[in-house]
Amino acid sequence: MEYIGEHLLIGKIGNVFVILSFVAALLASICYFFAARDNEETASWKGLAKNAFLVHGLSVIGIVVMLFIMLYNHYFEYEYVWHHSNKQMPMKYILSCFWEGQEGSFLLWTFWHVVIGFILQRSAKNWEAPVMSIISLVQVFLTSVLLGIVIFEHRIGSNPFTVLLRNHPNFQQVPIFSNPGYLEKLNGKGLNPLLQNYWMTIHPPTLFLGFALTVVPFAFAIAGLWKKDFIGWIKPALPWAFVCIAILGTGILMGGAWAYEALSFGGFWAWDPVENASLVPWLTLVGAAHVMLVNKTKGQSLFITFLLCILTFVLILYSTFLTRSGILGETSVHAFTDNGMSGQLLIYLFFFLALGVVLLCINAKRFLIKTGEEEGLWSREFWMFVGAIVLLGSSFQIMFSTSIPVWNKLFDTKMAPPSNPIASYNAWQIPFAFVVTLLIAVGQYFKYKQTALPDFLKRLSISFFASIIVTALFAYALHLTRAHYILLMFSTLFAVIANANYIVTVLQGKIKKAGASVAHVGFALVLLGALISTSKKQIISVDNSGTDISSLGEKISGRENIMLKQGDTLSMGEYEVTYIGKRFEGINVFFDVDYFSKGKDGKLNKAFTLSPRVQTNPQMGNVAEPDTRHFATFDVYTHVTYANLENAEEEKAKGSNEYSPAQIVDLKKGDSIFASNAIVILDSLSTNFDKTPYNLKATDIAVKAYLRVLDIAKAYTANPVFIIRNNNIQKPEPVKVEPLGLQFMFSKIKPETGSIEISMQEKKSNKRDFIIMQAFIFPYINVLWIGCIVMVIGTFLAIVERLKKNV
Amino acid sequence: MKKMHIIGIIVIAIAIGTIFTTLSSTSTYASFSEAAQEPDSEFHVVGKLNKEKETVYDPQANANLFTFFMIDNKGKECKVLLHKNKPQDFERSEQIVLIGKMQGEAFEASDILMKCPSKYNEGKIQETTASK
């Protein structure tokens, strides 16, 4: 069949670029390999290699451009475009569509490697050939993910340019493809609503740049082992390691900010497997960079330096495997599904792991058995080494827990992740953080080789005692009682104060030289902010009406959600909270919630409005997004967990005279019923009343109920009558209270219990809208965000200084 | 190399410590019957919503209680009391993971994870009604 309007040429061009980039990367890797050998042919190999990598880089850029054109123009004939975008979507999210899929995110990663490669070609000097050979080899693997060719019945990679929607195995039988003009009618599936957020346009490229940068210390370390220059590689790799720390760290924290602003779990960090998978390589990299610093001249602890550099990159590959293979299954909210790539990813992982381990083993005896001088106990080298070991331990604990699904696969066990992951991770990570922050506090006061201990203690004592006082004040003001929180607070404050003091007294305020200290202050502030905002997180939407379920575990309150009816006001923490109503704007339903604060005179003043929303998405499910009000010292977070999203039904109910089904209640004298807008009280019963309006006969038995109906403003009465005629109960007449939309019938007398039966009906329009919501207060969370910025600034200061020294 | 030996021992001790505590803090995937045998321990139970039976969520009475019936992977049905709000889109879920304890006849869940069907595998293609 001839299809109309398909754009097949662009796919063919894209596919050519894919093949070209793969072949050129392979060629570059081989040529750089020969160029790295020391003989007379080196120069010609190097020339060839440079050109091959240039072709590779340009092809990757070509792939990126082609994919963009396809997404931009909504070429839904391509499965990738159809799967990740649609016509309604704002242009700003086209970027997110690009990297939503596996192919796109690998492409992003590949692209950053190209950029890094171009820079290294110009800056790495005599390290260029071995380092670029490794990077090109990595590129061979990465571009093979896009190949989409079948070899021996195994498909290698998935190619966004060759998979047409109409050829996709899932859509073989879809009738739309029998129409040659099907494209006219086609719309894309669209982007996952969770990703339609501004953080999602900047978080993935930053994170992937961070991932990509880990290849540099790895490639340098491998090159060092290969060329048997065990120390020389460290200096040129150092600035890269620190750039990577800054960028990967920013990427991770952006993910936290996204979770805090747009996800609904009520926090910025949940020890989710996907979060852990990016945090762990960062930790090992921080360890790597610090031991690189102390080994760059003498090389006392080279083994761990190599190990950490190699491990970091391998962990990045392992993270990719964890998150992309679908092995995490139901343990992660992110849970990507397997699209047949996991075997391929494992091969990459084991290849680079083996490369590192083999090279390390071959050379091990060169730096493991090194008799003679060992660094002194009170030297900076030694404590940097200890710090790296602690970071390694922390990484190990996180990775071991996160890999539970992997252990299940390997050992056929049925372990589930801890039911309270945050508590079980914190149990280990708080002590680790304590040790790390202590080391950060004292680290710079140690001198290289040997420190004079009395001098060291004297310099630190001021900071130490100041931190104790500040900790005591903070702990008192914040009502911090748990010992491990107080200890962590002390160590983070100690790190902040000692490093600030170092800048003032030792560096005499020379901020340009203070990069490390500034970064350390920032890191400690991040931990401090995290500590206070999570340990003192306050749930203000407490519902005390429910049953007590403390038997299920102390962490589970079962009371975090509260119902708020439209117009009602409930007290939450220091606020009075009112649900105003909902607004429909495009695909979003906003729920306006007003917060009032009590003035000194007891009057309520409106403080602010929060509008948490639900993004409706019939294709992929609705997504609720919280709304947060930021203050200098705390945040008020509000999230709708359940709400009626229908508009039409309520509109119909408005002004309608229909009544809802009756509510039947047994009442004794003095009992009351709650209607949605009033309280109904049975005052009395009487047989002695004026019977003329009821056309009663003398033989009839009649009882009249006196109901008092109270709303906020006024009291009404309703007097339904119960009649027995000739031993038959007469059909009761409803008595209406028109202003309140209520009607009552007196339907039974129950002498055995001494009660009567009243059936009450409410007009449908009486039903008020309601939401189920959660409200939390996060105190001092700004300390965390400020810490992030300080840390990044500090790291860049350190990089600038380092580059100056290297030149 | 004395110092290195001490550090080595500490590292190994910490590694063993993490492995053991991690293994002891893990929960277990189980069926309703297995969970019923140990009413004091917490389990993860995987299953499907029984769509035939009624689900009850009455926020007026208790906004933190949602009741439904789930059939576990072994085919056993059990009443579930979830001590949370009713999750949005609950009826669409194709797989449920409950975290909680069996208490008598009912499973008391403190948390729930749901897997919603990915439309991708359903072979459906959305058509634009007004092609614009």
Say yes or no for a CB contact (<8 Å) between A561 and B44. no
How many other C-beta atoms can be found within 10 angstroms of the C-beta atom of residue A511?
13
Give chain B positions within 8 Å (CB) of A379. none
Most distant CA atoms of chain B, gap in Å:
78
Give chain A positions within 8 Å (CB) of B111. 419, 556
Determine the residue among B27, B58, B90, B119 to mutate to test chain A binding: the one whose Cβ has the most chain A Cβ atoms within 10 Å.
Answer: B27
Q: What ranges make up the beta strands (E) of chain B?
A: 27-30, 43-49, 66-72, 77-82, 95-103, 106-115
Say yes or no for a CB contact (<8 Å) between A416 and B3. no
Say yes or no for a CB contact (<8 Å) between A419 and B22. no
Which DSSP category does A337 fall into? P
Per-residue pLDDT, A652: 55
Which DSSP category does B108 fall into? E
Could you please report the per-residue DSSP string of A713-772? S-EEEE--EEEEETTEEPPPPPEEEGGGTEEEEEEEEETTTTEEEEEEEEBGGGPPPEEE
Give chain B positions within 8 Å (CB) of A337. 118
Residue of A nearest to B83 (CA): A558
Query: What Rg, from alpha-carbon coordinates, does chain B have?
Result: 22
Could you please report the per-residue DSSP string of A413-473? --EE--SSHHHHHHHHHHHHHHHHHHHHHHHTTSPSS---HHHHHHHHHHHHHHHHHHHHH
Residue A37 makes CB contacts below 8 A (sequence gap 6+) with none
Task: Please give the Cα distance from A113 to B117 (Å, whole number).
Answer: 35
Answer for the pair A271, A421: CB distance below 8 angstroms, yes or no: yes
Say yes or no for a CB contact (<8 Å) between B11 and A393. yes
Calculate how close chain B gets to A488, using CA atoms only, in Å.
19
Per-residue pLDDT, A782: 94
The b-or-e profile of A700-734 (16+ CB within 10 A means b, else e) is eebbbbbbbbeeeeeebebebbbbeeeeeeeebeb
Least confident of A214-218, A448-452, B32-36, B65-69: A448-452
How many other C-beta atoms can be found within 10 angstroms of the C-beta atom of residue A255?
25
Q: What 3-state DSSP class applies to A780? A: coil
Determine the residue among B9, B120, B129 to mutate to test chain A binding: the one whose Cβ has the most chain A Cβ atoms within 10 Å.
Answer: B120
Say yes or no for a CB contact (<8 Å) between A186 and B125. yes
Say yes or no for a CB contact (<8 Å) between A621 and B89. yes
Q: How far, in Å, are A438, A506, A516 from residue A499 at the CA level?
A: 11, 10, 9
Give chain B positions within 8 Å (CB) of A374. 1, 3-4
Answer for the pair A126, A233: CB distance below 8 angstroms, yes or no: no
Interface check B74 vs A, CB under 8 A:
no
Answer for the pair A185, B124: CB distance below 8 angstroms, yes or no: no
Backbone φ and ψ of A643, nearest 5°: -160, 160
Tokens found for residue A115: 């950029």
Calculate how close chain B gets to A414, using CA atoms only, in Å.
6
Q: How far, in Å, are A22, A249, A279, A457 from residue A212 at the CA level?
A: 18, 13, 15, 41
Per-residue pLDDT, A368: 62
Query: What Rg, from alpha-carbon coordinates, does chain A have?
Result: 34
Instruction: Closest CB to B131: pick one of A185, A330, A560.
Output: A185
Instruction: Closest CB to B127: pick one of A82, A187, A553.
Output: A187
Say yes or no for a CB contact (<8 Å) between B123 and A173. yes
The residue type at A646: E
Is the model's pLDDT at B115 over the cut of 80?
A: no
Tokens found for residue A787: 């810490």
Give chain A positions within 8 Å (CB) of B132. 87
Give chain A positions within 8 Å (CB) of B59. 563, 642, 770, 772
Task: Please give the Cα distance from A417 to A408 (Å, whole number).
Answer: 11
Q: How far, in Å, are A400, A802, B90 from residue B55 at the CA level?
A: 38, 64, 10
> What confidence category does residue B130 fall into, taking pLDDT thresholds of 50, 70 and 90?
very low
Task: Please give the Cα distance from A123 to A66 (Å, whole number).
Answer: 30
Regions of chain A with pLDDT less than 50 = 371, 554-555
| Partners of A777 in the β-ladder | A538, A636
Q: What 3-state DSSP class applies to A579? A: strand
Which range has highest mean pLDDT (A158-162, B9-13, B74-78)? Answer: B74-78
Angle of helix A199-213 relative to helix A102-123, nearest 10 degrees, comes to 50
Task: Tell how strand B106-115 and strand B77-82 pair up.
Answer: parallel
How many other C-beta atoms can be found within 10 angstroms of the C-beta atom of residue A686?
12
Give chain A positions within 8 Å (CB) of B124. 174
Per-residue pLDDT, A300: 76
> What confidence category does residue B120 fall into, taking pLDDT thresholds of 50, 70 and 90?
very low
Give chain A positions within 8 Å (CB) of B119. 189, 619-620
Determine the residue among B46, B89, B126 to mutate to test chain A binding: the one whose Cβ has the most chain A Cβ atoms within 10 Å.
Answer: B126
Answer for the pair A745, A736: CB distance below 8 angstroms, yes or no: no
